[in-house]
Amino acid sequence: MRSLSVIFLCVIAMNAAGTDDSWKLPLDVKEKALEQNARDFHNILGLYPSQVEVNLVTGKPDFSTLGYCDIAHAVCWTSNYLAGCSYRYAFLKESGAPKEVLDDARTRADEIFEAIYRCQLVTGVRGLQARGYAIGHGESYEERYSSRPRDNWYQGAGEYKDLRWRGDPSHHNYSDTIAGLGHYYDLCANDIQKDRCREAIDALVGYWVDNDFNIWHIGHERKTPILGFTDGETLDMRIMMAIAGAKTAYHATGDSKYQAAYEKLLTQYKVRGLTDFVTEKDFDDGEHVLNHLENLFRIENDPELLAAYRVILEAIWANHKADAQSLFTYIYMGITPDAPGRDAALKQALFSLQSWPTDTTLHPRMSSLHPELKAPYPLYAAAWDNEYIWKGNLLQGDGWLSRSIVDLSVPAADPVVIYAVDTDGVIYQSRDGAKTAGGWRPISLSLCSPARKIIAGPQVRILYAITDKGVQLSLNAGTDWIPLTLPEGSGKVVNVQVDPKLSNTFDVITENGVFRNKYRRSKDIGQRWDKIEEVPQKNAQAPGIQFKAADNGVLKSSDGGTTWELKTQGLDICRSYAVFSPATSTDVFASTPAGLFVSRDRGETWENGHLVLQFIYNMRREIGGAAYIDAYWRGRYYGFISEKQAVTEWQE
C-alpha cells in the first residue's frame, strides 16, 4: 500500500506545477489523501465540520470558538462520514486486509461515533442532540458574525463544560444521525462500542417517540415535529425518515415501543401495498431517504414492506438517475443490481470519483464560459453548491464567484502597498504587492458607511474614502476615520485628488465644483475650504496605453484606443469586471469573478492577486472529502469499483 508521504508528494508536485491535476490520481490515492485531510483539517474531537475557514497565514483551521467551522451542520455530515467509514471497515474485513489496516479503520470509525454520541451528551439532556460543538467558551462564529444572532448556542454540561454547542436541532439532524448509527451498528461496531451505539440510538429515537413524535428544544420552550406538516395520511420523504428511524431503533434495542411506533406509521400512512410514490427532485431529502433505505433493505424481512420500499426507491432514483451522483448510484445499484441502465449509471458514478480533486478549497467556478463542458460536470469543474457535495452540484457550473473590486489605489510613497474596495464597501490593504492571500486584510471595520471609492494619499497611512455618507479621511491606514464636512451647496462628491508631494493638501471634486483643503495640524482638517477653478489632472501610466474590462478577458490598447487586443494569459476565469492602472504603480490590476489579478508587464500576462471575496471579508474556506469516502467505500463494498480501477491512474 502507498504511504501517505508518497501520496502528498504527488499532490504537492501537481499543485506546484501551477495546475491542480490531482483529480487524475488513482482512486485509492485520493481516498487516503482526503481521509488524511479530514483527520487534519476537519476534526473536532472526531466531529466532522465539512466547511472550515483556513487561516490565510498558517493555512490551518481553528476549532475553538474563535474560529469558523460550519458546526451548525456538523452532526449531519459526521453521520454520513460515519456511514462511509463503516463501509470501509466492512470492505476491508471481507477482503482480508492486514490487521493494522483493519484496526485503523475501526479506530477511526469509533472516534467518529464518539463525536456523534458526544453531540447528545454535551446537552445534558438524554436524547437531545446538538448540531455540533466548538472547543472553548465565549461567542461562536454565528454569534460573532450574524447581525441578528439568536440564542442557539449553549455551554456544555458537566464534563463537557469546555465545549460550546449549537442547539436548535432539526428533523434532518436526527434523520442523518440515526441512519449513520444504523450503518455503524451493523457493519463496524463491536463489543463495548456496539453497546454504546445501542444506547445512543435508544436515546436519540426515544427522545421523539416518547414525546409524541416531537423533538423538544432546550428548556422545552419549543419543539420540532419529527413528521413535519402532514395531513396524517399521505406518505412523504420526511415520514419515511421517521419510519426508518423507528425500525432502526427496534433493530438495535429490541424495545417494543419502537416496533409499535414503526407499525403505527406504516398503518397510518398506508405503506403496505404501496404501488405509487410521488416526490419532487430534492437532493437533501434524497440523500437522507436513500441512506435509510439502504439500512431498511438490510434489516427488514417482510416481503410486502420490501416491495413498498422498492417503490419509494424507484421514485427517488427516477429523479436522480441522470445526475452522475456516485453515492446515490451506488446505494440504488447495491439494492437493485439488475436495474436497467446499470452500466451507463455506474460509468458516470465512477467518473465523478475519478474527476474528484484533492484540493477542496472553494474556488470560484464559471464553467458556462466553456461550452465544451456539459452538465453533469466533472467534479474538478463543478461549482460545489453544498459542502457535502451530494446536493446537485454536478449540474451547476457557476458558483462561489468572487465579489468584484470596484476601486483600487496605490500610495505614491510605496507601490507595494495596495488598497482595494469591494462591492460590499469594505476596504482591503495588501502590504506585499498582492503576492499572498495572507498579505491582504480588511481595514475599514470602523468606517461608518460602505466605501465606494478609495484614494491613497502621498503617505501609505493617508486614505480618503468616498462613502454613501460623504468623504472620510484616515491618517492611520484605516484605524480611525474623520468625516469631512464640505461647504453647503457643494453637491455630491465625485472624486478626491491628492498631490504626491503635498501630504497636507487635497482636492474634493463634487458635482458643483472643486474644493481644496490645506491643513497644518490634524484638528484643522476640513475646517477651511477654498473653491478652485482648475482640476489637477493625473498622469497616465504610459502614453497611449489603455485598458478595458471585457466579458472574455481584458482588452489592451497601445495606440490610445484605436485598436484593442484581448489579453487572457494567466487569468483563472477569462472575464473582467474592471481594470485599474494607477499612475503611482507600474502594475495593472483586473477585477474578475475569480478575484483580483495583477499584471507586472503592462497587461500582457496576468497572475493571481490573492484577493478572493466569496465569504466574510476575504476568508478562504475548504470543504473536506468525506463525501468522496462515503461513496468510494460503497463502490468497493458492492463491487462496483474493482481493485484495478482503484489503483489505476486516469487515462485520457
Give me the mean pLDDT over the 20-40 stretch. 95
Query: Residue 105's closest CA among 637, 645, 642?
Result: 637
What pLDDT sits at residue 535?
A: 62
Give me the mean pLDDT over the 333-350 stretch. 96
CA distance 581 to 538: 12
pLDDT digits (tens, 9 = 90+) for 171-221: 999 999 999 999 999 999 999 999 999 999 999 999 999 999 999 999 998
CA distance 599 to 579: 11
| pLDDT above 80 (res 543) | no
Q: Would residue 425 be called left, alpha or beta, if left means φ above 0 and alpha means ψ between -120 and 50 degrees?
A: left
Q: Is 381 helix (H, G, I), strand (E, B) or coil?
A: helix
What pLDDT sits at residue 6?
A: 36
Query: Residue 507's closest CA among 455, 448, 460?
Result: 455
DSSP state for residue 386 in the 8-state scheme:
S
Average pLDDT, the chain: 93
Write down the pTM of the prediction.
0.91
Give me the mean pLDDT over the 149-164 stretch. 95
What pLDDT sits at residue 258?
A: 98
* Beta-sheet strands, E only, within 208-283: 214-216, 223-225
Give me the mean pLDDT over the 29-57 stretch. 96
DSSP state for residue 550 in the 8-state scheme:
E
Q: Is the backbone peptide bond immediately before 376 cis, with ω within 30 degrees of 0?
A: yes
C-alpha cell at 42: 476537519
- Distance from CA of residue 6 to its chain's centroid? 28
Give me the mean pLDDT over the 278-283 stretch. 93
Question: 491 and 476 in contact (C-beta within 8 Å)?
Answer: no
- Ramachandran angles phi, psi of 647, nearest 5°: -105, 0
What pLDDT sits at residue 504?
A: 85
Q: Is 291 helix (H, G, I), strand (E, B) or coil?
A: helix
The secondary structure of 110-171, three-state, reads HHHHHHHHHHHHCCCCCCCCCCEEEECCCCCHHHHHCCCCCCCEEECCHHHCCEEEECCCCH
% pLDDT > 70, the chain: 96
pLDDT digits (tens, 9 = 90+) for 105-130: 999 999 999 999 999 999 999 999 99
Cβ-based neighbour number of residue 8 at 10 Å: 16
More confident of the two residues 432 and 375: 432
C-alpha cell at 315: 421514485
Query: Residue 547's closest CA among 600, 494, 589, 594?
Result: 589
Least confident of 233-237, 355-359, 383-387: 383-387
C-alpha cell at 289: 431517504
CA distance 573 to 369: 8
pLDDT digits (tens, 9 = 90+) for 556-604: 999 999 999 999 999 999 999 999 999 999 999 999 999 999 999 999 9
CA distance 252 to 315: 28
Residue 5's pLDDT band (cuts 50, 70, 90): very low
CA distance 460 to 412: 8
Residue 385's pLDDT band (cuts 50, 70, 90): confident
What pLDDT sits at residue 452?
A: 97
| pLDDT above 50 (res 4) | no
Residue with cell 469558523: 68
Give me the mean pLDDT over the 489-499 stretch. 92
| pLDDT above 50 (res 12) | no
The secondary structure of 405-458, three-state, reads EEEEECCCCCCCCEEEEECCCCEEEECCCCCCHHHEEECCCCCCCCEEEEEECC
Residue 542's pLDDT band (cuts 50, 70, 90): low
Residue 391's pLDDT band (cuts 50, 70, 90): confident
CA distance 530 to 572: 47
CA distance 501 to 491: 28
Least confident of 11-25, 146-160, 381-395, 430-444: 11-25
CA distance 162 to 229: 37
Which residues, including other chains, have CB under 8 Å from residue 96's CB and lie 6 or more apart?
none
Extents of the domains making up the chain: 406-538, 541-613
Q: Give Dmax over CA atoms of the chain in angstroms.
A: 92
- Ramachandran angles phi, psi of 575, nearest 5°: -155, 145
What pLDDT sits at residue 2?
A: 41
Query: Residue 460's closest CA among 408, 418, 519?
Result: 418
pLDDT digits (tens, 9 = 90+) for 289-338: 999 999 999 999 999 999 999 999 999 999 999 999 999 999 999 999 99
Q: Would residue 189 be called left, alpha or beta, if left means φ above 0 and alpha means ψ between -120 and 50 degrees?
A: beta
- Ramachandran angles phi, psi of 114, nearest 5°: -60, -35
Query: Residue 8's closest CA among 358, 354, 357?
Result: 358
What pLDDT sits at residue 183?
A: 98
The secondary structure of 7-67, three-state, reads HHHHHHHHHHCCCCCHHHCCHHHHHHHHHHHHHHHCCECCECCCEEEECCCCCCCCCECCC
Q: Is 347 helix (H, G, I), strand (E, B) or coil?
A: helix
Q: Using alpha carbons only, what angle is made at residue 554 by residues 547 and 585, rounded to the nearest 5 degrees?
A: 50
Length of the chain: 652
Cβ-based neighbour number of residue 459 at 10 Å: 17
Q: Is 380 helix (H, G, I), strand (E, B) or coil?
A: helix
Which residues, including other chains, have CB under 8 Å from residue 177's CB and lie 6 or more apart?
75, 76, 79, 116, 119, 129, 204
CA distance 171 to 241: 9
| pLDDT above 90 (res 65) | yes
Q: Is 69 helix (H, G, I), strand (E, B) or coil?
A: strand
Is 166 exposed, middle or buried, given 0-12, 13-18 or 19+ CB atoms closer than 10 A? buried
CA-atom Rg of the chain in angstroms: 29
CATH number for region 406-538: 2.130.10.10
| pLDDT above 60 (res 1) | no
